[in-house]
Amino acid sequence: MTGVAVFTVAMAMVIYLGLGVWVSLALYAVAITSLALLKSMPVEKLVAQLTFNTVNTPEILALPLFILMADILFHTRLSESLFRGLAPWASRLPGRLLHVNVLGCTMFAAICGSSAATAAAVGRITLTELFRRGYDRQLVIGSLAGAGTLGFLIPPSIIMIIYGVLAEESILKLFIAGIIPGLLLAGSFMAFIAIRALLNPSLVQEEGIPSTWLERIVALKDLFPIAFLIIIIMGSMYGGFASPTEAAAVGVFGALLIGVVQRTLNLANLTRACISAMRTTSMIALIICGAIFLSVSMGFLGVPRYVATTIAELQLSPLMLIALLIIFYLILGCFLDGLSAIVMTLPITLPLVLLAGYDKIWFGVFLVIMVEMAQITPPVGFNLYVLQGLTGESMRRVSRAAFPFFLLMTAFAMLLAFVPELATYLPTTMSQQP
């Protein structure tokens, strides 16, 4: 009977997605179809109760607030300030201003939980400047493609909020778990850029007289707005003064304050930011509700237990299981966006990973990296479309530019499997403190 349930769920998913049904509605449809065919139960009551309980989860309130903050910041001059503040500090590094892409995305990611928003906000300034100065176009685009994905890994992260709600895990611990991997991944991008620049100096243009220490110190004033936001958001959470939801509200206030000070926040921009945030939040909320309903439905049908038992009988080592999951999510990333891939597969993959000895915190960070890779995987990688719109390049050229950074992220995912402490050290340390 359970084998029939697995087949029914899989076929229903293929049919609905193949028909072009929205992912959120497809999740509902698959669950309703499977329960209607295989179980006798009041499906309509289950849908209503789970949807109501999901949208009333306190943790999920942080989601629209962080999205609104990112949309407000998109209408400020924060990205211009980032370039002016970081350029003098990157001028002496091998690769020079190419590092501004990585450093800018890393800092912007610390106040914005969206990968696409990070790439768009930083790229609209750095791409123009680096192209004008004669830097290699492929390396410029590739570095922004890779670094832009850090918006999902470095807290606050929209994907981590969604995963925390679905997996019933502490969002604050997930945020903390993303710090070390996020910084290490950013460091690996910078190391790759430096090596490429040293091996082929023609990729990088001379910037004339390197910046003096006085110029660097003066440039720090341009980093004050983003430093202010990072301090009030991250400081309030990790200092124990605010929950992630309250910190998100503080972030919205900070973004409004920056817009007012920079005189870029008028009524029209604020209206556009609110409408954009409302659309994004509605889309994600519907996907989350559908995912939770599908998860509960598969639990009633015994699908996760059946799949977990079947794979356990293969006696795969933990590392072999993770390698298999990487391949699985890479294939899914070619056809689905990362968020959809997570919400569809989490009810099955999470029990497998827990059975292999990993914990929810680690798996959350691992999944975020998988989502980041999906963001630069053609043909549906959303960051690739963002960069295509910013540069006017073909999808083929943008994908080829992003490929080396895609390989770096694949290698980093395997490193995380070998050294899970990279993700679990900070949350464990926090839990042990009185």
Instruction: Provide the CB-side half-sphere exposure for 369 (13 A, CA).
Output: 33
Structure tokens given for 417: 């499997």
Other Cβ atoms closer than 10 A to 342: 27
Structure tokens given for 419: 């050294």
Whether 152 and 115 have beta carbons less than 8 Å apart is answered as yes
**Helices 158-167 and 62-74, interaxial angle, to 10°?**
170
Report the pLDDT averaged over residues 351-375.
88
pLDDT > 90: percent of the chain:
13
pLDDT of residue 432: 61
Report which of residues 115 and 320 the model is more confident about: 320
pLDDT of residue 431: 65
pLDDT of residue 404: 93
Other Cβ atoms closer than 10 A to 211: 18
Q: Which of 153, 199, 210 is nearest to 177 (CA)?
A: 153
Q: What sign results for the dihedral spanned by CA atoms 168, 173, 176, 181?
A: negative
pLDDT tens profile 187-199: 999 999 999 989 9
pLDDT at 89 exceeding the cut of 70: yes
Report which of residues 137 and 209 the model is more confident about: 137
Q: Which residues contact 181 (CB under 8 A, 6 or more apart)?
A: 153, 365, 369, 412, 416, 422, 423
The single-letter code of the amino acid at 233 is I
pLDDT at 408 exceeding the cut of 70: yes
pLDDT tens profile 57-70: 776 777 888 888 88
pLDDT at 310 exceeding the cut of 90: no
pLDDT tens profile 228-251: 888 888 888 877 788 888 888 888
Report the pLDDT averaged over residues 132-144.
88
Report which of residues 89 and 41 the model is more confident about: 89
pLDDT bucket at 409, cuts 50 / 70 / 90: very high
Other Cβ atoms closer than 10 A to 323: 15
Whether 183 and 153 have beta carbons less than 8 Å apart is answered as no
The single-letter code of the amino acid at 63 is L
pLDDT > 70: percent of the chain:
94
Per-residue H/E/C for the chain: CHHHHHHHHHHHHHHHHHCCCCHHHHHHHHHHHHHHHHCCCCHHHHHHHHHHHHHCCHHHHHHHHHHHHHHHHHCCCHHHHHHHHHHHHHCCCCCCCHHHHHHHHHHHHCCCCCHHHHHHHHHHHHHHHHHHCCCCHHHHHHHHHHHHCHHHHCCCCHHHHHHHHHHCCCHHHHHHHCHHHHHHHHHHHHHHHHHHHHHCHHHCCCCCCCCCHHHHHHHHHHHHHHHHHHHHHHHHHHCCCCCHHHHHHHHHHHHHHHHHHCCCCCHHHHHHHHHHHHHHHHHHHHHHHHHHHHHHHHHHHCHHHHHHHHHHCCCCCHHHHHHHHHHHHHHHHCCCCHHHHHHHHHHHHHHHHHHCCCCHHHHHHHHHHHHHHHHCCCCCCHHHHHHHHHHCCCHHHHHHHHHHHHHHHHHHHHHHHHCCHHHHHHHHHHHHCC
Token pair 């960070």 is at which residue? Answer: 365
- Sorted by where each begins, the domain ranges of the chain are 2-432
Report the pLDDT averaged over residues 269-278.
88
